[in-house]
């Protein structure tokens, strides 16, 4: 009779251990899948943020270049037209000179 109870105990024990092992394996698989998905989401968000920061940094350095070009263009425009201003002032002075008969 003892051997019958030992067989029943052994069968139930093996069944319970098998169920526990299967449940543990399922939860480990779920944990791994969820962890992998979270890692992928983090990588995607992090990469996107890094790309956005890099793009904005590029705009900032480009803006400095644009500013330099704009100021250089204004200076070049004024410098190239200074002779025209001098000629215009000279013409006005000549006209006044001629009207006053100096």
Could you give the CA distance from residue 30 to residue 37 in angstroms, rounded to a whole number? Answer: 11
Give the model's pLDDT for residue 18: 95
C-alpha 88, offset from chain centre: 54
Tens-place pLDDT, residues 38-89: 999 999 999 999 999 999 988 888 888 888 899 999 999 999 899 888 999 9
Could you give the CA distance from residue 63 to residue 75 in angstroms, rounded to a whole number? Answer: 18
Give the model's pLDDT for residue 43: 95
Could you give the CA distance from residue 94 to residue 102 in angstroms, rounded to a whole number? Answer: 10
Q: Is the pLDDT of residue 102 over 80?
A: no
Distances (CA, A) of 41 to 34, 46, 50, 78: 11, 8, 14, 55
Give the model's pLDDT for residue 11: 93
Give the model's pLDDT for residue 101: 72
């Amino acid at each position: 009779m003892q051997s019958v109870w030992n067989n029943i105990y052994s069968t139930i024990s093996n069944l319970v251990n098998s169920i526990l092992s299967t449940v543990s394996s399922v939860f480990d698989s779920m944990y791994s899948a969820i962890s992998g998905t979270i890692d992928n989401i983090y990588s995607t968000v992090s990469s996107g943020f890094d790309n956005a920061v890099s793009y904005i940094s590029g705009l900032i350095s480009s803006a400095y270049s644009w500013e330099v070009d704009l100021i250089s263009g204004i200076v070049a425009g004024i410098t190239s037209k200074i002779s025209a201003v001098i000629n215009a002032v000279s013409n006005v002075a000549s006209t006044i000179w001629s009207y006053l008969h100096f």
